[in-house]
Amino acid sequence: EPEVTQTPSHQVTQMGQEVILRCVPISNHLYFYWYRQILGQKVEFLVSFYNNEISEKSEIFDDQFSVERPDGSNFTLKIRSTKLEDSAMYFCASRWREGTGELFFGEGSRLTVL
């Protein structure tokens, strides 16, 4: 069964460093998402991406964040200058069609900012 894959599974970085989290969505999916979950808190929407552009973003997704689909398979989340409060689990998800199509999630990338 096809799956969303994410790398790395865990990354430790120093405050102020740039981080890139990578995701490979399911191949025929058209809609892509990033969510994050700070330890002990709920899963929060960051950004959705469709047709090679951001379709919606939350207030969390400020200028420090960017997303890219550099080729036909990868979907990346970049944090330019990490802060302590960026420490969280980041989940990538994809969907093949709009509306009520199911979101398929990756296993997550744990980011620890020291």
Partner 1 sequence: AQRVTQPEKLLSVFKGAPVELKCNYSYSGSPELFWYVQYSRQRLQLLLRHISRESIKGFTADLNKGETSFHLKKPFAQEEDSAMYYCALIRGSQGNLIFGKGTKLSVKP
Calpha distance 57→66 (Å, rounded)? 10
CB of 32 to partner 1, least distance (A): 10
Of 82 and 90, the one with the shorter C-beta distance to partner 1 is: 90
CB of 75 to partner 1, least distance (A): 15
Of 103 and 114, the one with the shorter C-beta distance to partner 1 is: 103
CB of 37 to partner 1, least distance (A): 9
CB of 7 to partner 1, least distance (A): 14
Chain residues that interact with partner 1, rule: CB under 8 A: 3-4, 31, 33, 35, 41-45, 48, 50, 55-56, 91, 93, 95, 98-103, 105-108
CB under 8 A, 24+ apart: contacts of 16-19? 16/81, 16/82, 17/81, 17/82, 18/78, 18/79, 18/80, 18/81, 18/82, 19/78, 19/79, 19/82, 19/86, 19/111
